[in-house]
Structure 1
Amino acid sequence: MTAIGIYGSAGRMGRAIATIVETEGADVAGGVDAGGDPTALAHDADVLVDFSTPAALESHLAAAVAARTPIVIGTTGLNATHHALIDRAAGSVAVLQTGNTSLGVTLLSILVREAAQRLGPEWDIEIVEMHHRHKVDAPSGTALLLGESAAQGRGTTLGEERVDSRAGLVGARTEGTIGFASLRGGSVVGDHMVVFAGEGERIELGHRGEDRTIFARGAVKAAMWLADKPAGRYGMTEVLGL
């Protein structure tokens, strides 16, 4: 069976992955958390899964590259520097990076891209997400993933069109922008809604995560899919064959 090593094994997602790995036909090769050495685990595992912190990403990628071990990155809150590190690592090993490992969210991202492409810029796009009170980054990685899908559908980039939460006299909405709103509270696993608002009508595409195991199952599925892939950068849509 595929041996999966977990970076961030003591966190919510790490624990969820360890719980369901065997039910998905894989084994846990071990786990590493803050202060631990990622190198040995990279050599022991057939594939790595990283749900730790952005600060740890560089060392985890370096360990994966040194051991030639594929790695799935589900850590959110990444910036341009992190993505440059991922691109560099993908030249040596298979790397799958995503803002959400849920298979349902992956399909939602495809629907959002298609809707954005067909509706055009006169339809305003707003993305609303809610998570538990302990989440530290906003907008969520999933919200950004959905925003990127919308931007791709319009033939532009999220960096050009992104507008975060509004406050004060911000003026009228600029056509073509993609807005974000983040809510935090309670124990919400993850709710996401993409609103396409036109003149006199509105389309809402959404996903509600009711149990953290949906992300764990998706992460394990992605890891088992990635284990024998050649070097390169991959996404969840490829796991689903989309």
Structure 2
Amino acid sequence: MPETIAEVRMLDSSYIREIRSLLYHAYRHEPTFAYLFEADRPGFDQRVRATVRELVNQHFAEDLPAIGLTIDDRLVGVALVAPPQRRLDITESWAWRMRMLLTTGFRCTRRYLDYHAAVLGCLPPGPYHLLPLLGVHPEFQGKHLGEQLLNALHAWCEEDGGSKGLVLDTGNTRYLDFYQRHGYEELGEIALGPIREHVLFHPNPKPENRLAG
């Protein structure tokens, strides 16, 4: 299938509604969210929608960066980025925790907080960027847009001399080969009920390699 070329944009708060819709559609079938928000219990879609809404809203309230892909002004891919010095702010917010409790319930909020802490526990010492959420809209998957999004993220993170690289996690085994082909190394594995969440790291080039390039 020929590659579809998208435009890379830094996204501001005017994109919040589009980002929330895209990430809801991207995550509602993901095994990690199925476990965290109890897909076998009524109200799962509402819990996923509420969680994505609260994460995206808090991300922009904290003035954190977001990178998007657009085709003809339609948002088709997005990554929320947490810089090293800000990566704990969202889940430490009591207002965010209260909204999560009210919309997803105590058990799902506790599962999410434990999952988040376990991911952070896999990180070695040092400054890293984290990707709390990223996705390509299901209508546009299979068009190499995930690769374009990763390349844009890597280029953007490389500009930060205070970061050692980029960390993401996935419980979807069909993505592992894709990430490994793009230079990701496994830092650790987390047990989430029946799910095995893989924490992956993409190192920034060393300064001498940047100069050589």
TM-score relative to the length of structure 2 = 0.29
Q: Say which one has the larger Rg.
A: 1
In proportion to residue count, which structure has more helix? 2
